[in-house]
Chain A
Amino acid sequence: IGFYGRSDSYRVATTQDKDDRSPKKKKGAKEKEMDDLKKEVPITEHKMSIEEVCRKYQTDIVQGLTNAKAAEYLIRDGPNALTPPPTTPEWIKFCRQLFGGFSVLLWTGAILCFLAYAIQAATEDDPAGDNLYLGIVLTAVVVITGCFSYFQEAKSSKIMESFKNMVPQQALVIREGEKVQINAEEVVGGDLVEVKGGDRIPADIRVVSAHGCKVDNSSLTGESEPQSRSPDCTHDNPLETRNLAFFSTNCVEGTARGIVICTGDRTVMGRIATLTSGLETGKTPIAKEIEHFIHIITGVAVFLGLTFFILAIILGYSWLEAVIFLIGIIVANVPEGLLATVTVCLTLTAKRMAKKNCLVKNLEAVETLGSTSTICSDKTGTLTQNRMTVAHMWFDNQIHEADTTEDQSGASFDKSSVTWLSLARVAALCNRAQFKAGQDQLPILKRDVAGDASESALLKCIELSCGAVRAMRDKNKKVAEIPFNSTNKYQLSVHETEDLNDNRYLLVMKGAPERILDRCSTILIQGKEQPMDEELKESFQNAYMELGGLGERVLGFCHVMMPEDQYPKGFAFDTDDVNFQTDNLCFVGLMSMIDPPRAAVPDAVGKCRSAGIKVIMVTGDHPITAKAIAKGVGIISEGNETVEDIAARLNIPVSQVNPRDAKACVIHGTDLKDLSQDQMDDILRNHTEIVFARTSPQQKLIIVEGCQRLGAIVAVTGDGVNDSPALKKADIGVAMGISGSDVSKQAADMILLDDNFASIVTGVEEGRLIFDNLKKSIAYTLTSNIPEITPFLLFIIVNIPLPLGTITILCIDLGTDMVPAISLAYEAAESDIMKRQPRNPFRDKLVNERLISIAYGQIGMIQALGGFFAYFVILAENGFLPTQLVGIRLNWDDRSVNDLEDSYGQQWTYEQRKIVEFTCHTAFFVSIVVVQWADVIVCKTRRNSVFQQGMRNKILIFGLFEETALAAFLSYCPGMDVALRMYPLKPSWWFCAFPYSFLIFVYDEVRKLLIRRNPGGWVERETYY
């Protein structure tokens, strides 16, 4: 509450405010504006008299604005609608995909290809088409992967479209004395508007008159209870005062008339929306990881490329040849298919999560939950059921617990007591709530109720335990009623009795317990009326305190059978001028209500904790309620105390308690505003269990920023508009699918379709799994880079015929490697990933030096040898023994040499030996496929043996067959010699790489065995990625 006090200094008149927002803004003004938005609401109208407000807007309290004036204001202020958040044009998104990541490198390659071809075309009559061909292929690769990523992204962002509600809002305004229904967009400041129950408030209005008007501010403040509105200013804070109603909140019941004071983006809601869309969100952790990885790979590619370019020049190759080498090295170094693989893996996980009620809007957010180290959760609706439920009752001098679970699986209490029947009768009769029609087949708890939250809770409780309330009400006809009002703090009604022979009237009353007690002289114990003595009063006090301490709202109930002599049948009860007995009643009992936690939440919070995730509750609700729920769901775990608890236990002042002793803390919004940044960091660092109560939207943002400052990856859950800035600022914002407001869904990255906090745990699990699996996938894909690069390097350095061509490299990267790499996304977890700490974003990288060491330095090298062996086998069996190959390149690649001698003295024409060379490319390619079989099996696990992990991943097995079939197809399909220059292999050549494939498997199994045998040993430190 107090935070708003700070806004004093920003409280400038709205007119002045408007000047600030003149359309011409300089640079930097935007930033200032953002700071401005982070501050509180500059509304003062609630403190003005109605006349002053009328004067300010030149309107009339009866006639409203004139049409001319309204038109003038409309032109001045613009329509009453929120400016939609700026969207990136589609073509920019497309270009980002087209030129992001490795694309730049591949574009360079493609351009070099075209350049080389242009040079050849200019200098030769009959240029070889190789470079042109390769350039086209590279361009196609970039464009196709770009399109693929673009469409994947477009698909996931399209999910949002379904949430947009395009029905235009209507508003009832009074202009020139006439009521007119206009489009809510045309409402202007100064308009006199009328709202009734069920309407959406069209703008921020200053209430001038109200009849039983209640508004639901939950989307703005998080308070779940409807609040009444009246013309009086009850609070300095515009959000707390009764005489303001806010844009896009709902009027629940009653009617009200008011003057519009703010429209569109200037409304409280508009400011939050603008703040939200203006927030810069950082990159997702996985995006940072991928960027880091791209930097490494690009660095290696550029370094190798330039080194060999210079080396080639020094070795006396021509510029053209050096450029062609450069292209080859770039193509070999860039894992062309990897980004598409990552996208597919993330998409698959997103789909899996959607099945578990986590809808992912932004693909990269899939992993974010996995690396989350702090969850800031809203209370209402996420942790709780967002439904008042009777939790406890006190009667017969005893507290009884009611069943609050969603499925009524909890314990029940003794319903046989006569007192309970009386209590139930009072609760049922003194109750205006009723079920909406046509829901008889629904379970009671699912039915919709017309009436306020407490009465609905009572209604459902009675309906559940005593049967049809309607029948009870029919039998006990209501003859008079005084509704609840804030001065009396009670509600009473007078009924006929069920017993037809009994002509007495029954008076039932409920209200604030202390008020009810004051009116009672007796108390019902075990069905018998006893006089209220001090002992019973104290016992009442204790029960009241205890239930209040649980954060529950307590109501007292009493009744009396009115004596027939004073109130005979047909007595005219006058409710305005109370002409009947309202004291000396008989106290029946207390009932207390709370919005109970969801059943699955305590378990989920426990799982989060064992997964090393800190759960912080951030709510707009009262500290006591917040703390009670926090204890109920385990956010404050059993045995942990706050500073206040310690103080109370030791009976010392709060100031004497060492704050370090308390692991838990509950922080009030009022205190939060006085905290410096250091104090804030201190709290976040030193308390493991934190509850923030009574927080404003801006404070939620500050909390999130505080956590992020400490290096945490923060997830925020929330449903209200007030949560949306925090949702946007968080590393991952999680909105509620059912209860969430559109603005919050807009700001979030993920939507929980069932509003259940427990679904987040699923998300965390999936996120961690995909991170692990992406590592495996990348390790697998990167490994084949070495057998792709080394042929080029040896070709340049020792002048052997080229062992592997650029086209075959592309066949590996974009063909055979794809499905196995993707299949690793389906790999099951190796151990319980929910039992370990969240990854440290500074230390635990997706791609680290150990992964590179394993993939490039070890497995990749074995693979390269496998490929080279196949290459030497083919050349040797065709007549070129290994010893003869070194240095042969110059003649080998000379078109005019058509009698090149092999080791047997045979003479080869250019074309003949080229066919052998291309057969070698094919064999090298096939060998890479063969060694990648072992690699994919090896990459399935990072620590366990394959024999422990099993081969249950069907997609992976499919991938093995698919890549083999594809390799066979590329080798044997007629026409491939022309299309890709790949030639059929003799069957025996398929087996060349088998020993190396086996070697990879054995080597890595031994490595993993050593890791398991010596945890923390040298092998683990150097090779566990």
Chain B
Amino acid sequence: MAEEVVLLDFWPSPFGMRSRIALAEKGIKYEHKEEDLRNKSALLLQMNPVHKKIPVLIHNGKPVCESLIQVQYIDEVWHDKAPLLPSDPYQKATARFWADYVDKKIYEVGGRVWKTKGEKQATAKKELIETLKLLEKELGDKPYFGGESLGYVDVAFIPFYSWFYALEKCGNFSIEAECPKLIAWAKRCMQKESVAKSLPDQQKVYDFILEMKKHFGIE
């Protein structure tokens, strides 16, 4: 049966990137539709009426919403190639825990780094580094969070790397100086075609953040 896969996306979204990577890892051909979030398409509103957000994965006409739910779905449906989640329940639980940790922390704390100034920004920077250091510790000496190959946590986390340059410029700090092993991991991930093709250029992301700051009246 011909599979029809569509991804409703927005280029700088780290959440959209997760699904792009998962689809690429599995070698799935899909139609990529770029959304204008100031003018959401009828299709997006129809496929994600609850949240009206991207990414939305549409498989044979049926929508799957929320990026980590999409990654799990992709892993389960196309289970023959490049497994992202381990098969052992305990290892799976560990992977889910860290992906959840990334979800709870990185976006919100990172957001505060570029949206605030002064003391609030200093606090956000400190929190971000603490969070990244904890993830670095979890990585340990493994090449990937998934072990020898890219796994669920790698897919959940690597998209935020495309935002690091922007955060560093906004916060005037170096993430590599604090977390060299994590940056080494990120560069290792970027060697993979599935990741390199899914992440936008860091300068482009920075320009986008600057536009957002102007739009929201943030200095």
Q: Are these two chains actual partners, yes or no?
A: no
Report B's interface with A, CB cutoff 8 A.
Answer: none
